[in-house]
């Protein structure tokens, strides 16, 4: 039976970027909502963002990850859309970005996380991803510093674009390897183990929020908040909160190569952190902290991880 909050809201407008991945993620959430509420209809509204328009320069040169979210926040504030689905790793920790949105927008739900690891897409799998002189395509400073620390003989070159474009450039020989998030590949059905290698978190620690989605809406829109809350996964939400608190505590920005990844292991919450030099060079400082699941508080676990990093400064 349809929830009472839907009686006057049979259609929800879901704001999404126009990329194949963004639309796939938004359609996934739309389908889950409509499965829970068969009389509800969710319409996708494409919002063009600055990050989608400027593709020839690294994000850290043009303003950082917020370039994927600012226009969507504006659309939320104006009432053009009712909620949005973001890749959580692309949301700056200083959300919202639009000054007028402070106190007016909220992340209403964080659904269960997809696999947060990275993947090496290889032109020649027989040689592996990091052979001497290999051209590695990535514009992520987090990936750059970790790869160079373990593989100083490779060359890191800037690579942006949607998933299909990046894969195509590797297959065409423009790069020997490209590093992509496994979650995105899986969500659009593009993961192919014949030329892709999943990287362990020991090899390449993910970004804060990688693999997770954030459902954002207006704070005063109680009907929509109520709908979205049904998709919230507290474990994912708390793990991502700890990861993002690490970035916030380290005053991270688009020039800060910070990795943070929290997992539940044998009754404990384990938080791993890796921090490279500003600009994306080694060495990389690392920390691992854990706490019993019953005592888990995102802020305190993040604080412990940041403290563990300090002696190596």
Confidence (pTM): 0.90
If you count them, how many residues does the chain have? 313
Per-residue pLDDT, 1: 29
Q: Judge: domain 118-199, CATH 3.20.20.70.
A: no
The angle at the Cα of 119, spanning 158 to 44, to the nearest 5 degrees, equals 80
- For 14-40, the pLDDT digits (tens) are 999 999 999 999 999 999 999 999 999
Q: Which CATH class is domain 240-312?
A: alpha beta
Digit-by-digit pLDDT tens for the chain (313 residues) are 234 444 456 799 999 999 999 999 999 999 999 999 999 999 999 998 776 655 555 555 444 556 678 899 999 999 999 999 999 998 888 866 666 667 899 999 999 999 999 999 999 999 999 999 999 999 999 999 999 999 999 999 999 889 999 999 999 999 999 999 999 999 999 999 999 999 999 999 999 999 999 999 999 999 999 999 999 999 999 999 999 999 999 988 767 899 999 999 999 999 999 999 988 999 999 999 999 999 999 999 999 999 999 654 4
Sign of CA dihedral 199, 202, 206, 212: positive
In the chain, CATH 3.30.160.40 covers 240-312
| Residues near 7 by beta carbon (within 8 Å), at least 6 away in sequence | none
Range(s) for CATH 3.40.190.10 in the chain? Answer: 4-111+212-232, 118-199
Query: What does the alpha-carbon distance between residue 302 and residue 110 come to, in Å, rounded to a whole number?
Result: 19
- How many helices and strands in the chain, by DSSP H and E? 10, 13
- Residues tagged active-site: 90
**Residues 205 and 146: beta-carbon distance below 8 Å:** yes
What percent of the chain is modeled with pLDDT above 90?
Answer: 81
Q: What is the pLDDT of residues 234-263, one digit of tens each?
A: 999 999 999 999 999 998 876 789 999 999
How far is the C-alpha of 275 from the C-alpha of 44, rounded, in Å? Answer: 37
Q: What is the DSSP string of 95-134?
A: ---SGGGTTTEEEEE-PPPPP--EEEEES-GGG-S--TT-
CATH class, domain 4-111+212-232, is alpha beta
SS (H, E, C) 181-213: EHHHHHHCCCCCCCCEEEECCCCCCCCCCCCCE
């Amino acid at each position: 039976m349809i929830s009472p909050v839907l009686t006057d809201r049979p259609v929800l407008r879901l704001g999404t970027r126009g990329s194949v991945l963004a639309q796939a993620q938004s359609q996934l959430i739309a389908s889950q909502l409509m499965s829970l509420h068969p009389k509800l209809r969710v319409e996708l509204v494409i919002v063009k963002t600055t990050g989608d328009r400027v593709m020839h320069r690294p994000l850290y040169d043009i303003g950082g990850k917020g370039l994927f979210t600012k226009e969507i926040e504006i659309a939320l504030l104006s009432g053009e859309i009712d909620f949005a689905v973001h890749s959580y790793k692309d949301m700056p920790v200083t959300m919202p970005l639009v000054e007028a949105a402070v106190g007016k927008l909220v992340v209403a739900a964080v659904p269960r996380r997809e696999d947060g690891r990275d993947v090496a897409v290889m032109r020649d799998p027989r040689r592996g991803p990091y052979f001497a002189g290999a051209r590695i395509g990535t514009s992520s400073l987090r990936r750059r510093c970790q790869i160079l620390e373990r593989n100083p003989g490779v060359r890191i070159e800037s690579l942006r674009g949607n998933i299909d474009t990046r894969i195509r450039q590797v297959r065409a020989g423009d790069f020997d390897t490209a590093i992509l998030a496994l979650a995105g590949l899986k969500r659009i059905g593009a993961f192919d183990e014949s030329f892709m290698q999943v990287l362990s978190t020991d090899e390449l620690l993910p970004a804060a929020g990688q693999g997770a989605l954030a459902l954002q809406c207006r704070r005063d829109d109680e009907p929509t908040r109520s709908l979205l809350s049904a998709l919230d996964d507290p474990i994912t939400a708390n793990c991502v909160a700890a990861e993002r608190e690490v970035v916030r505590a380290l005053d991270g920005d688009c020039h800060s190569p910070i990795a943070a990844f929290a997992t539940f292991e044998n009754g404990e919450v384990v938080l791993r952190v890796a921090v490279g030099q500003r600009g994306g060079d080694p060495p990389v400082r690392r920390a691992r902290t854990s706490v019993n699941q019953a005592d888990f508080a995102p802020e305190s676990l993040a604080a412990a991880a940041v403290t563990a990093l300090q002696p190596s400064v």
